[in-house]
Amino acid sequence: MAVIRQVQITFDCAEPERLARFWCEVLGYAVVPPTGFASWEEFNRGRFPEGDGAWCACGDPTGAGPRLFFQRVPEGKTVKNRVHLDVRVGTGMTGEERLAALEAECTRLVALGAVRQRLLYDGTDSCIVMQDIEGNEFCLD
């Protein structure tokens, strides 16, 4: 049996390129063109002559993180995600130090269009629940 070593995370969304660029800013990723094409615009134009922009992807330039793929779907988001990303900015920190790191990152992401939902803090451990620009929940952890 083959061992899988890579995973791609797919987002259903309304605006694939816009959401891909948001996550590039969050994670330090870059938009990566599809195999055999110079850009997603070229790929999309080949599939949809009117240049629909139905797909986009981004990836970790170091190759360590998973690729994120974005595909346009007709329906909007209606319920909480069953799976979400944890953006690990406070790894190895506790208490006030951790909280300060999370708050600083939260401020940066709100400026990009993210929405802060709530802070979970017990005096030692903390997490900030947020939403991306299309309402997908994620956590600053």
Domain ranges of the chain: 8-72, 85-140
What are the backbone angles phi and psi of residue 69, rounded to the nearest 5°?
A: -120, 135
For residue 66, give every residue at least 6 positions away whose Cβ sits within 8 Å of its Cβ, in sequence order, or none: 6, 7, 8, 9, 59, 60
Tell me, what's the pLDDT at 3?
Answer: 82
Q: What is the pLDDT of residue 106?
A: 98
Distance CA 56, CA 34 (A): 8
This prediction has a pTM of 0.89
Query: Residue 47 has what pLDDT?
Result: 74
Three-state SS for 57?
strand
State which residues of the chain have pLDDT below 70. Answer: 48-51
Q: What are phi and psi of 30, to 5 degrees?
A: -135, 150
